[in-house]
Structure 1
Amino acid sequence: MRVDCTPCPVELGVANVQVAYIEKYDGLAREQREYVFEESRLLISKSFGQETADTSFDEDVMRFIRNGEMYVLRCGEALIGMKLVRMLSCCQRSVLYNAGTVIALEWQRRGVNTRLTRWIVQSRGAEIVASRTQNPNIYRTLQLTCSRVWPQMHERTPENIQQIALCVAQKVNGTLETFDRQRLVDRGTYGDTLYDTIPFPENPSPVIRELFSQYVDAKRGDSMLVIGEVSS
């Protein structure tokens, strides 16, 4: 089915992969919404290994695809990835908030998400990139996209970055009660882990391994709010 979307002129470094932009899921026609939902459901199920028969899973999928502006990745007709973003204004800085990313297993570790993130940052004029995650690969993506990334293991998070993080957390969570402003960790975000095994990057740096092993209790549903500053 043809879905109303805008092609994006981004080069992802792999053949036959196209990116399209959908401003708002709810703005699509009913048949298109149903089609996008079913595609998203299958992609997320395969990527996270979750059972599609669970009613709560359908609710999670719907929350995901309604969580922001959507960038859709296809190889031919096949859906291979989705990125949801929201543009926020925090402390007079333009913030690109990564509201969610799903990449098909066979397309992971090819740099697709990093290249797409860089392109979105440049095309949207973002000064700050933020992402709430249990996935160390997202931290690595921000390291490859931004000049500085927080939190750091042995370095205090600067006050100006803490203020930006507090602003993002308030806008995304609606509360700061469970947010650790120094470690940039939100306690019990998801209620449970999103992964059977936390997906560390290949040859992760000691900093990444320490941060996610010591700061984030994934089984309790904790998440890290990673903040990256884009070089001017």
Structure 2
Amino acid sequence: MLELSGHQVALIDEPLDVRLRGLGEVAAAFDDEDDLGGVLWRARLRDDDGRVWRAAADAPEHLPAGLAPSKPGTGRVPALGSLHPVRLDVHAEAPDGRGAKRTFERRLLADGVRVRRWKEPQLRGTAFLPPPDAPAAEPLLLDARIDASTGELGLLAAFVAPLAAAVLASRGRATLVVTDLDDLAPALERLAGLRAATGAPRVLRTLGAGDVVLLPPGIPVLDEGSAARTARRDRWASIVTPA
């Protein structure tokens, strides 16, 4: 009997950890049962709007980036604004026709992360605060302000900023998303004073240099090329694990 194993619950920016066991004689043709040719991998998720995204790949780690809507729609990313855990259904089919299925939970919010909406005349934004027991770390301000010159990617980056902030807070970084402030000074001052913060806040544009969208790996962007996907992953890694 085939069986899928791996970390069933993980943050959405972590690599998908899935292993296929039980291939028996089929596996004997390969040196490593975790590196099997001929196995077809499929994945499926349903977003907040009920839209189904599917992917097929020759290795499980390629599934999240390959997700695409099964029917035409307007969004380039899955609707995940509820920040609820994402259920990713994974299916592996062996060359002999046998298969195995398992559902993995991909989280945007770790346990203990708090979401606070600041609505003051000089301070409007949504703060994502790490769990109370997380060590103090450099706070982040995600500048998601848009104007008349903002193109499609800028609008997309502003739209997905809360998703990025949720995962960054889950990684221990107090993060504030700002969309319409004229002056960032009050927001920076408030961020610096948080118990979870140490040092001056770092300001990040949600659409960075080279038009790189700030969005965690594991969340697909429709029609994103491999170079853009790599740049997005590298930018994310540089923020989550700074030098």
**TM, length-normalised to structure 1:** 0.26
**TM, length-normalised to structure 2:** 0.25
Write 1 or 2 for the structure with the bigger share of helix. 1
- The structure that has the greater radius of gyration is 2
